């Protein structure tokens, strides 16, 4: 793959990259950082891609790793702006009920739902991206649907 082709792929996958980053990270600034770092790493390592057919999967995997790196880094730091007792326990509440229910899911379920439903990856492709079995993906999707259903039903009552 040439650098020009990688650039075209990145432009074509920009929405997908944002959705995946947003499914793991709450803040837009963190999403932008993860995407930017993934792009830099992709350009610096594009020669390691063996099969051009898997370029998008390779790019998404780099992004997922960057998101997890940011989450690890953030878990080790405490913001100085607000005292510990005043920190919000949930992200901003200006999103829809479905988004709030999705953000309450564990990381592995949330990412699986985003890849499968929002980005349209198949079970097989999702399993390859997350490096788990296809049955694990099916189980995660089933548990996520059940949890979302319960959460949304509780909010209606």
Distances (CA, A) of 125 to 33, 61, 71, 119, 128: 25, 11, 24, 11, 5
Where in the chain are all domains bearing CATH 1.10.10.10? Answer: 83-157
Model pLDDT for residues 127-136, shown as the tens digit of each residue: 998 999 999 9
Q: Which residue has the tokens 């229910």?
A: 101
Domain 83-157 has CATH 1.10.10.10: yes
Model pLDDT for residues 61-91, shown as the tens digit of each residue: 999 999 999 988 877 765 555 554 444 454 4
Where in the chain are all domains bearing CATH 1.10.1740.10? Answer: 1-77
Model pLDDT for residues 88-132, shown as the tens digit of each residue: 454 444 447 777 888 888 988 999 998 898 888 899 999 998 999
Task: Answer yes or no: pTM beyond 0.75.
Answer: no
Contacts of 139 (CB under 8 A, 6+ apart): none
Model pLDDT for residues 3-59, shown as the tens digit of each residue: 889 899 999 999 999 999 998 887 889 999 999 999 999 999 988 888 888 899 899
Neighbours of 114 (CB within 10 A): 21
Helix (H) or strand (E) segment spanning residue 13 = none
Q: What fold does the segment set 1-77 form as a domain?
A: Rna Polymerase Sigma Factor; Chain: A (1.10.1740)
Residue 144 pLDDT:
93
What is d(CA 11, CA 106) in angstroms, rounded to the nearest whole number? 29
């Amino acid at each position: 793959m040439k650098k020009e082709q990688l650039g075209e792929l990145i432009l074509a996958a920009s929405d997908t990259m944002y959705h995946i980053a947003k499914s793991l990270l709450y803040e837009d600034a963190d999403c932008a950082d993860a995407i930017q770092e993934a792009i830099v790493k992709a350009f610096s390592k594009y020669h390691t891609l063996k099969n051009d057919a898997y370029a998008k999967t390779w790019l998404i995997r780099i992004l997922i790793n960057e998101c997890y790196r940011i989450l690890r880094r953030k878990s080790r730091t405490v913001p100085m702006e607000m005292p510990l007792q005043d920190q919000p326990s949930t992200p901003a509440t200006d999103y829809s009920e479905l988004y709030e229910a999705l953000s309450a899911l564990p990381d592995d379920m949330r990412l699986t739902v985003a890849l499968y439903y929002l980005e349209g990856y198949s079970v097989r492709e999702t399993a390859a991206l997350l490096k788990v079995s296809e049955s694990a993906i099916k189980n995660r999707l089933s548990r996520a649907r059940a949890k979302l259903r319960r959460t949304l039903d509780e909010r209606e009552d």
